[in-house]
Amino acid sequence: MGRRSGPFLQRHTVLLCLALLLLLLLSLVLCVSIGSADISFWDVWRIIFSQLNRHLDVSDLRPGLQNIVIYLRIPRALLGMVVGASLTLSGIAMQAFTKNPLSDPYVLGISSGASVGAVLSIVSAVLLPWGVRLSIPAGSFCGAITALLLVYTLSRISGEFTPMRLILVGVAVSSICSAITNFIIYTAPQDAQVREASFWMLGGLGTASWEALPIPSLILIPSILFLIFLARPLNAMMMGDDTAITLGVDVERIRKLLIFLTALLTASSVMVSGCIGFVGLIVPHLVRSIVGPDHTRLIPTSCLFGSLFMIWADVGARMVCAPAQLPVGILTALIGGPLFLWMIHTRQYSFGR
């Protein structure tokens, strides 16, 4: 960004958010029309409006195309939007909590715990009575929450509860969970189970459905409002604990709330999409370089930007190896890594100041 664009966008964040929202709505329709089966932009609109108005005639369109739009591509695009916003919001919360620019939603071992639960469900079908479609998300969510509780408990034993201690325990628990996951995959009796587990761990939206949307959506919406409400305390915390306490911020209480919120957002995202890296790390930094570090502007703008990033990354993952699907986690890493290096090289970020 140039020197003039940054201050301008900082002063007009509302206009930027409105522009991003319009772009997001257009992108959702465009993403639905792109795929191995070509569907025109206007036909997508007709199918969508036909669901809102039953009197609209779309009988000239093949029923197969309507099913692709309604049951496959629309829920996939919406899930990508929700997952992108959730991971981005988790990244903002973790970076504010730890005051560490390298923190991301997975720093507490949540993704590794989710991997244990999901892979265990795939290989042993321990949650099969819940149904095949629900067994992996349920196992993933249970594993993520279990890992977080373990990290939180161990961080408070015989020592002061600090962000650094929490991160160190999270790294240790993450390593243990990764070892357990690898052991389960290594001893899996069927090659198909190994492939399915490996694909899930790389992250993707291929299992998207309308049934997968309610839980992450219901967690995301109040989380956005809650973090916006905490924007000023978060700004104070970024200046240091002493400053925040002087300004009347209950640092310990807010940290506990941030841990809980990050866990819910990350677990709800991982359970439906697997482990998708770099979104929660790169998007907050990219948006900070545009609107500055003030969380009042950063939170809504980042959520919109994260949604856009994820749905277009998913389109890329679907088209790069079409008709096969590339795990979207590979693409986000290929995009996010070089972009992060470029931002470091050009110093296009502002963390906590």
Q: How many CA atoms lie within 13 A of 105 on its CB side?
A: 35
- Give the pLDDT score at 308: 95
What CATH number labels 5-346? 1.10.3470.10
pLDDT of 264 reads: 87
| Region label for 103, one of left (φ > 0), alpha (ψ between -120 and 50) or beta (otherwise) | beta
pLDDT, one tens digit for every residue, the chain (353 residues): 444 445 665 667 888 899 999 999 999 888 888 877 777 777 777 777 777 766 666 666 777 777 888 888 889 999 999 999 999 999 998 888 887 777 787 788 888 888 888 888 888 765 455 555 667 788 888 888 888 888 888 887 766 667 788 888 888 998 999 899 889 888 887 777 788 788 778 888 888 888 889 989 999 999 999 999 999 998 888 887 788 888 888 888 888 888 888 888 988 888 888 888 889 888 998 898 888 888 999 999 999 999 999 999 999 988 887 777 888 888 898 888 888 788 777 765 555 55
Residue 169: C-alpha distances to residues 111, 162, 309 (Å): 14, 11, 31
d(CA 254, CA 236): 11
**Is the backbone peptide bond immediately before 323 cis, with ω within 30 degrees of 0?**
yes
Task: Give the span between the Cα atoms of 324 and 2, in whole angstroms.
Answer: 39
Give the per-residue pLDDT at 3: 44
- The structure's pTM equals 0.87
Q: What whole-number distance in Å separates Cα of residue 29 and Cα of residue 73?
A: 10
Residues 80/58, Cβ–Cβ less than 8 Å:
no
Domain parsing of the chain, residue ranges: 5-346
Residue 2 has a pLDDT of 43
User: How many other C-beta atoms are found inside a 10 Å radius of the C-beta of residue 158?
Assistant: 5
